[in-house]
Amino acid sequence: MIAANNTSYLARIKPGWKFGVLLVLSIALYLINSWTVLLSLFILSVVLLLTARVNFKQIRLPLISLAVILSVVFILLGIQTDWLNALRSVLRLLTMCLLAYSVSLTTKFEAMLELFQQVASPVRFVGGNPAQIALALSMTIRFIPELKKVYVEVREAQHARGLANNPLAVTVPLVIRSLKIADETAEALDARGYDSEPAAFRR
Amino acid sequence: MSRNPSSSQTKNTVYIAVFAAMIAAMGLLPPITLGIIPVPITLQTLGVMLAGALLGPWRGAMSSLVVVVLAVAGLPLLSGGRGGLAVLLGPTGGYLVGWIFGSLVIGALFKYWVLRRTGNTARFLAGLASVIIGGIGVIYLCGVPWTSVATGIDFGTSLVGSAAFLPGDLFKAVVTTLVALTVHRSYRGLMS
């Protein structure tokens, strides 16, 4: 779920602020018990999502699956406790998810990732290496299409042998080829003298 | 084995990235249907279990963490093309967090227990127990209370609800164990 050229007012707010507000509101939602307050917050989140000019095609499927889960929750809670309680629970979750959609759909993926890396940067005080984190994240994104291709190839090859639905026959070659790709990439990085240690630690 | 530290650090990072990509790829493809289990099985948690069983506790947990971070940041990597902040805040967010601890526990058990067993049967049983403890026990331990807190449904009902996934998860645990032991046999020193 990525902001595709969203130009609304929400897109101009810094990701850190949006994320912070979402976090605070999520906690607050669990502390609020009055259904009128919850209902008004829900209406507010709907307004927020509607005015954010998001692409509704992107959230159609997530909304459907959310609706299915929430109706199950509503019925279960209604029977087990009382219907007002069920309403509160459903409003809470709906509000939280709509707010989360509003943030996700108005924030560029790169901006979100950058925020996470900033949040994670204190790991260097406990011996972690932020450069390695950045490398792992960007390398994963680069490897996903390749691994998907390998997976499709292996499944097709095993399909030809009549083993397409045999998880063992599919997974073992997939894992072996993944390990080979990893070894080759590590060697290539070493051969090019990639040094991921931060400059300050170099002697 | 003596390697200079930056080289092995790079290698660790590459392994983490490749396995994270494998977990993601497993979620992108249509699920496998089996005759014995009615629900189609997505292989994504198989990837989570394998990352722990093959890479060990630290790198395994990091692989799962990378997938969770990328999905929460907005990539539609989770099965069914889900992604974004809502997957973490929603009622099933706990299972996602559980992946990280699940692969950590599986990795630790494999490294310090399973791979020190001798004899095929002992190894298989230890491996299966480890994957069940980490890949089902730990993941459900994070997911079930989370659902219960997020929705207000009581713990018991939440537990019963998660039981629908148990047959598929048990099946994946068996596959993980067989695959991991096969791969460890041909790729020695994967965890050293």
Domain membership of residue A169 (yes or no) is yes
Are the beta carbons of A93 and B150 closer than 8 angstroms? yes
Half-sphere exposure of A24 (CA within 13 A, CB side): 6
Q: Are residues A78 and A140 in the same domain?
A: no
Q: Please name the member of A73, A80, A140 whose beta carbon is closest to the beta carbon of B20.
A: A140
Interchain contact, B14 vs A97, CB within 8 Å: no
Domain that holds residue B177: 5-186
* pLDDT interval class at B4 (50, 70, 90): very low
Q: Bin A162: left if φ > 0, else alpha if -120 < ψ < 50, else beta.
A: left
Are the beta carbons of A104 and A1 closer than 8 angstroms? yes
Bridge partners (DSSP) of residue B32 are B41
Domain membership of residue A3 (yes or no) is no
Domain with residue B132: its CATH number is 1.10.1760.20
| Res. B2: pLDDT tops 70 | no
Please give the structure tokens belonging to residue A184.
């080759």
Which of A88-92, B18-22, B131-135 has the lowest average pLDDT? A88-92
Q: How many residues does chain B have?
A: 192
Q: Are residues A54 and A92 in the same domain?
A: yes
Domain membership of residue A97 (yes or no) is yes
Report pTM.
Answer: 0.88
Half-sphere exposure of B10 (CA within 13 A, CB side): 21
Mutation target among B7, B12, B14, B184 for the A interface, most CBs of A within 10 A: B14
Task: List the end-to-end C-alpha distance of chain A, in Å, as a whole number.
Answer: 43
Q: Which of A140, A171, A35 is nearest to B172 (CA)?
A: A171
Interchain contact, A136 vs B25, CB within 8 Å: no
| Res. B28: pLDDT tops 70 | yes
Which residues in chain B touch residue A146, judged by CB atoms under 8 angstroms apart? 21
Are the beta carbons of B139 and B92 closer than 8 angstroms? no
The chain B residue lying nearest A145, using CA atoms, is B25
Interchain contact, B179 vs A168, CB within 8 Å: yes
Q: Which of B74, B77, B85 is nearest to A98 (CA)?
A: B85
Domain membership of residue B192 (yes or no) is no
Q: Are residues A164 and A92 in the same domain?
A: no
Measured torsion, CA atoms of residues A179, A183, A184, A187, in degrees rounded to the nearest 10: 170
Domain count, chain A: 2
Q: In the prediction, which pLDDT does A8 show?
A: 83
Q: In the prediction, which pLDDT does A133 show?
A: 85
Domain that holds residue A172: 129-201
Domain membership of residue B191 (yes or no) is no
Which residues in chain B touch residue A29, judged by CB atoms under 8 angstroms apart? none
Q: In the prediction, which pLDDT does B37 show?
A: 57
Domain count, chain B: 1
Along the 203 residues of chain A, how does pLDDT read in single tens digits?
666 677 788 888 888 898 889 988 888 888 888 889 999 999 999 999 888 888 888 788 888 888 888 898 899 888 888 898 899 989 999 999 999 988 888 888 888 888 888 888 888 887 778 888 888 999 999 999 999 999 999 989 999 998 877 888 989 999 999 999 999 999 998 888 776 555 445 44
Q: Please name the member of B33, B72, B175 whose beta carbon is closest to the beta carbon of A168.
A: B175
Distance, in Å, from the CA atom of A22 to the CA atom of A105, rounded to the nearest integer, reads 13
Q: In the prediction, which pLDDT does A3 show?
A: 63
Domain membership of residue A45 (yes or no) is yes
